Structure 1
Amino acid sequence: MLGKMMHKQLTIGSLIEHAGRFHAGTTVTSVETSGETVHMTWGDIDTNARRLAAALNRLGLEQGARCGTIAWNNRRHLEIYFGVSGGGFVCHTINPRLKAEQLIYIINHAEDQVLFIDTTFVPAVAQLRAQFTEVKHIVVMGPRDADIAAQIDGVLFYDELLAAETGDFDWPDLDENLPSSLCYTSGTTGNPKGVEYTHRTSVLHTLGGNQPDGIGLRARDTVLAVVPMFHVNAWGTPYIAAAVGAKLVLPGPNLDGVSLAKLIDAEKITVALGVPTIWMGLLQGLEETGCTAASLERTIVGGSALPTVMIPTFRDKYGVELVHAWGMTETSPIGTLNQLLQKHSTLDSDAQEKLREGQGRAPYGINLRLVDDAGTILPNDGKTEGNLQICGHWVIDSYFRADDSALTADGWFNTGDVATIDADGYMIIRDRSKDIIKSGGEWISTVELEDIAMSHSDIAQAAAIAAKHPKWDERPVVIAVKRNPSVTEAALLAHYKGKVASWQIPDRVVFVDTLPLGGTGKVLKNKLRESYDEVLLED
């Protein structure tokens, strides 16, 4: 016999309905593509999202139709998040920094019927339009513009679509297991793969990921979502902010350190979320502007390993706590967050800082394990390295349009990371399995080598790769960007002494002006390997 409690579907529409009903007056700040800053409210976002859902129905879209977005973090993109998914369609966010052939592949593979684009991307879409096989409507996110209308035949304008609706649209009572949004992996090797989230998984991710020991957003917070809205639903930040009614600040296209420093002070940001390269840029921006980031309490840092030198810098100079996190497109993305346990309160600051360097522990709803190459489960002793696998309420089952399961025979997803887990569940990513260096049969972590390089005061950025070697098969090479032009290769190599075993010290340092970054701020190591994997054979 079933229990005697109400059963309500867990849907995206319920999140924005809650924000519109109980936090209607709370501000949502949007830095537009034009550079203008617009202040709206959650009540406005709710009304406009309803208007958008009604407009999509008027366009004749059927339930489950996929609607692509190529856009920055702004208020119209936020309305699309809720209007598309809440209306019973699928919000497909697209990384605008992908190559043209990957954009075409993704849009066609998803069979997007509507494509929402910021004005920035009008020229590119106009050029590629003929190659989109299923797109019926292109909607420019703004008011009518005669120049744009001349570039794309039949283009629609977002503001006109919404103006034709009343805003009294009722969110449909959808099955929570229906798809709500679609994101594709970065596709650094081969074509990107689609991950289709459901309403249920997204709401559970919202609730599970925002525990006090998780992201921990509150109604009294002002949240800066620097992580792109085209990347894994901005780590779920729009959904979490709506669920708790936090003030949300969307920074638009300019994510340089100076712009962010000024925005943090102007909007009195308390919590921010983004990748390590963003926070390295922010440190420089704070120095250049003299901004103090006095309101900022903590940042959530994920996407790639956090340079540990940043933790004391932010804490001691600006009073900001850096919280390390880990996840993947396939995990919605939250897999772990690094928050301390009660017993850690008695540790000294150095010991606590050491704990905070890892990626942390799983929130309720997620489970982790380590296995060897044969699939044997390995101990959680903090020392044994193994292949990291994950399962949980918001983890992928199979890729979009794929017939085969993405899981192991016993139901776990193989992340492709090499990690350790200690007895308390604290996980540390030691490397990506495809990046780890195997030198003479022994493993060397590129993550550790990069962290040491970036702890040198004269180094701005660094990446370690495996280079071919005639005797040892592979040896480490560091590709670095100088902060101080006078720093030498010998000086950086000397910095490794005493920090790793002597045989793990890199063979070479190659200085470059910039490192190649993907659309989400990660270093593209495949590009570095293409350029430098034979650098030791040239000597």
Structure 2
Amino acid sequence: MALMGQMMGAPLLISSIIKHAARYYGTTEIVSRRTEGDLHRYTYRDCELRARKLAQTLEALGVKQGERVGTLAWNGYRHLELYYGISGMGAVCHMINPRLFAEQIAYIINHAEDEYVCFDATFLPLVEGVAAHCPKVKGWIMLADRAHMPTDPKVPLLCYEDLLDARDGHYTWPELDENQASSLCYTSGTTGNPKGALYSHRSTVLHAYAAALPDALGCSARDVILPVVPMFHVNAWGLPYAVPLVGAKLVLPGPKLDGASLFDLFEREGVTFSAGVPTVWLGLLQHMQANDLKFSTFRRTVIGGSAVPPAMIRALEALGVEVIHAWGMTEMSPLGTVCKLLARHADLPEEAQHRILETQGRVIFGVDMKIVDGDGRELPWDGKAFGDLLVRGPWIIDRYFRAETPAHDDGWFPTGDVATIDPDGYMQITDRSKDVIKSGGEWISSIDIENVAAAHPAVHMAACISVRHPKWDERPLLVVVKRAGMEVSRDTLLSFFDGKVAKWWIPDDVAFVTEIPLTATGKMQKLKLREQFADYKLPTA
């Protein structure tokens, strides 16, 4: 018979994170830019009290454990209260991405069977548009005080601050089963209907622990952390849990994510660490370069969501900011890999270090990965073999919400990415499996092509897609948005690739456009580009 350990059986619960922050970092600030336009300040102790009032409110409204409560909100203190109040009382916090199409939002609310939906004032027109298509929602709660409620809404509304003011906060967080559902995120649904990833208290707390580790996101009580990545996008990569867990000052940017607004908040609040997708940093860098600005406290940022162009890494480094490349997905809560150098890399030449830092990095503890060929055979970690990337771990989904069959095959979840892994475990995404270009039976990495193009000073944004070719089956087409006020010709741009990639990888043509369509999470929408250029005739065809 196995000898069992004699340790306390305290469950891993989301409420324990905010209780810890309130008890041990009670006076640490949470600063939010509100939809009302002003800056709001309070503490972890205030946040936990209001989260308890919210839990009381939800119980009074009849919300039961396991039922879903939707949120349509920016990164702000009220959204943070929803994260903890909803999950803490045993319900499921369902973060809805407001950048999706209205039809998708209605589908998600109905599929999740949300009892109530809480929303920021910004999204009132959206709510008024979808409410009629969501008949099972019992109430729409506007995240505002009485003074900011609309006078003649098209939908009956409840006032968030009125609801909280009616409660005393004398509430004890229930001791739940740590495997109970805590929160629900849907994929962005670029093809077909969005699918739900239903997280548990255990998976979320473990993910927060791992995210805070020094060689992961490296969160500390000495940091001032501003998540630019939205709280409606995979839990803002776990930062709303990891930051209170370590007791760091939290700065929430609200709806203003332009370069000028972010720079002002970074400087005003002394931000040291942030996280966001490449398109956000592009806007911030442009604002700083145009105004000859420098950071005074900002030192580290995690960039994920899509591959970071090497030119962006160098631009941020020139401003004194360490870029930490990360990779993950909604189905992974989301963190999978983080890129940092090992101790023995310290003596490598700068270019060799950069080649490592441009990869997606190594797994954090809790995630296991491998690459396989088309027949499912595991491929070597030699940095050369391309294969389909599979993952497994305690914060990776077993199946999608309401799906009867597992989302994995023999315990391994297929990410849909094509990758290489080197002998040190550094993984590099070479493409999405649906985006990889197969020319004459050989693979071309669209991401590598885009990274080279993005380094050209006249290129604002670049996407590489496959176009049909009579001889090679597929060839790469480079789609480019020029930087404002700058010019570059097709031939000049194609010659820029000489010596940077294999000759047969160089795109056959360049198409200049005014904009590249983006998904709801800021990624380039290559499916739409492929549809747009479906009949494009290459000069080599």
Range class of TM-score, shorter chain = over 0.9
Q: How far apart are the structure 1 equivalents of 2:148 and 2:317?
A: 50
Q: How far apart are the structure 1 equivalents of 2:424 and 2:200?
A: 31
Q: Which moved more, 1:340-349 or 1:114-123?
A: 340-349
SS in 1 for 2:306: coil
1:149 positional shift: 5.3
Q: Which moved more, 1:27-36 or 1:280-289?
A: 280-289
Q: How far apart are the structure 2 equivalents of 1:389 and 1:230?
A: 25
Aligned counterpart, 2:80: 78
SS in 1 for 2:363: coil
| 1:57-92, Cα deviation, whole Å (9 max, x unpaired) | 011111111011111111110110111111111000
Counting matched residue pairs gives 537
Q: How far apart are the structure 2 equivalents of 1:345 and 1:198?
A: 39
Mapped contact 1:176–1:198 kept (Cα < 8 A) = yes
Aligned counterpart, 1:223: 225
Q: Which moved more, 1:478-487 or 1:70-79?
A: 478-487
Aligned counterpart, 2:309: 307
| 1:401-453, Cα deviation, whole Å (9 max, x unpaired) | 00000111x20000000000111111000100000111121111100000000
User: Which of 204, 208, 211 is matched with 2:210 structurally?
Assistant: 208
| 1:203-251, Cα deviation, whole Å (9 max, x unpaired) | 0000112111000100010001100100000000000011001111110
Q: How far apart are the structure 2 equivalents of 1:260 and 1:180?
A: 31
Mapped contact 1:389–1:415 kept (Cα < 8 A) = yes
Which amino acid is 2:421 matched to? I
1:537 positional shift: 5.9
Q: Are residues 1:515 and 2:520 paired?
A: no
Mapped contact 1:111–1:133 kept (Cα < 8 A) = no
Which amino acid is 2:105 matched to? L
Aligned counterpart, 1:4: 6
Q: How far apart are the structure 2 equivalents of 1:363 and 1:160?
A: 43
Aligned counterpart, 2:101: 99
Aligned counterpart, 1:448: 448
Q: How far apart are the structure 2 equivalents of 1:337 and 1:137?
A: 40
1:145 positional shift: 5.3
Mapped contact 2:310–2:451 kept (Cα < 8 A) = yes
Q: How far apart are the structure 1 equivalents of 2:74 and 2:489?
A: 39
Q: Which moved more, 1:152-161 or 1:519-528?
A: 152-161
Q: How far apart are the structure 2 equivalents of 1:182 and 1:7?
A: 26
Aligned counterpart, 1:480: 480
Which amino acid is 1:391 matched to? R
Gaps of 5+ in 2: none
Q: How far apart are the structure 1 equivalents of 2:17 and 2:30?
A: 15
Equivalent runs, 1:337-356 vs 2, <5 Å: 337-356=338-357
Which amino acid is 1:469 matched to? H
Q: How far apart are the structure 1 equivalents of 2:129 and 2:431?
A: 39
| 1:369-401, Cα deviation, whole Å (9 max, x unpaired) | 011111001111111110000001111100000
Mapped contact 1:265–1:291 kept (Cα < 8 A) = no
RMSD of Structure 2 on Structure 1 (CA)? 1.3
Which amino acid is 2:114 matched to? D
Q: How far apart are the structure 1 equivalents of 2:147 and 2:70?
A: 21
Q: How far apart are the structure 2 equivalents of 1:149 and 1:107?
A: 26
Equivalent runs, 1:118-197 vs 2, <5 Å: 118-144=120-146, 148=150, 150-197=152-199
Aligned counterpart, 2:16: 14
1:314 positional shift: 1.3
SS in 2 for 1:13: helix
Aligned counterpart, 1:527: 528
Q: Are residues 1:421 and 2:421 paired?
A: yes
Mapped contact 1:70–1:116 kept (Cα < 8 A) = yes
Mapped contact 1:325–1:334 kept (Cα < 8 A) = yes
1:150 positional shift: 2.4
Gaps of 5+ in 1: none
The TM-score with structure 1 as length reference comes to: 0.98
Which amino acid is 2:438 matched to? K
1:470 positional shift: 2.4
Q: How far apart are the structure 2 equivalents of 1:133 and 1:472?
A: 52
Which amino acid is 1:516 matched to? P
1:280 positional shift: 1.2
The TM-score with structure 2 as length reference comes to: 0.97
